[in-house]
Structure 1
Amino acid sequence: MLPPALWTRDVLYTDTYPEHLKHLYLAEEEMLKQQHKAKSNPVLLEQKCNMAVKSATNERKCKKTSNQKAKEEYEKVKTERAKKKEAAEKRKQEREEAQRLYKQKKMEAYKILRKRTKKGQPNLNLQMEFLLQKIQQKT
């Protein structure tokens, strides 16, 4: 084999190689050139290896496994359900409060309108006062 100093494209690659194998010889030539560069500059090679290791670890950190994806999806669904449940509970409490106020108001009106005189007749004065209050509240 020739020493690296004599390597040139003319020496390593000639037209005498069969056409269907040229790509293999070209690939081998590139590989030999890279090895030669690596041997001549080991500090650069070490830095490249360190960068490759760092980038590989960064990719691993960024790339999520299917288990991690499933956990994240589960947490997302869980928080959505909690939010929906909380909103439903709030609506339910508001509705119950509104119903309680409505029933209380109706009961007060019923008590006023139900009152009778000593003879058992409806108390028209109280009914008229109730209607007057109702009209005044609307305006």
Structure 2
Amino acid sequence: MHVSTLEGLCAIESIMEHIAYSVNLDAADVKMANVNKQKFPKIVKFWNDMQSWAEIKSRKQAIETYNKMANIIFRLTVGKKKGISLVPMAWTFGSSGQLYSYWYQFFHGDGGVVVCHGGIEIGQGINTKV
């Protein structure tokens, strides 16, 4: 069974961004070239659909134009720049027994409870649910 971690996925994304920058390619093209197209055909379909309905090419051109102007205008000061990132990703859910650990403690004196868990709070309210 293949288990992916959020940290591992972020590291790979950073590596692919670095490779693309080093060889002067679009990072989205490098990422898409590394997608297993036989295993994840829905990602390829969604990617192609998104390119048109989200107008990715025109957005990238507008961002490039803005950043060139920002370099001219803000040469001596710190200016804002824009960017866009596309990340083709398939996140498979699975469980292999005690993949995520937890620890809880009850305090005798005041009845307080401490809960530690191996989950990652990314806006889904896991700490609130616990």
TM-score range, shorter chain: under 0.3
Point out the structure with the larger strand share.
2
Q: Which has the larger radius of gyration?
A: 1
Point out the structure with the larger helix share.
1
TM-score (normalizing by structure 2):
0.23
TM-score (normalizing by structure 1):
0.22
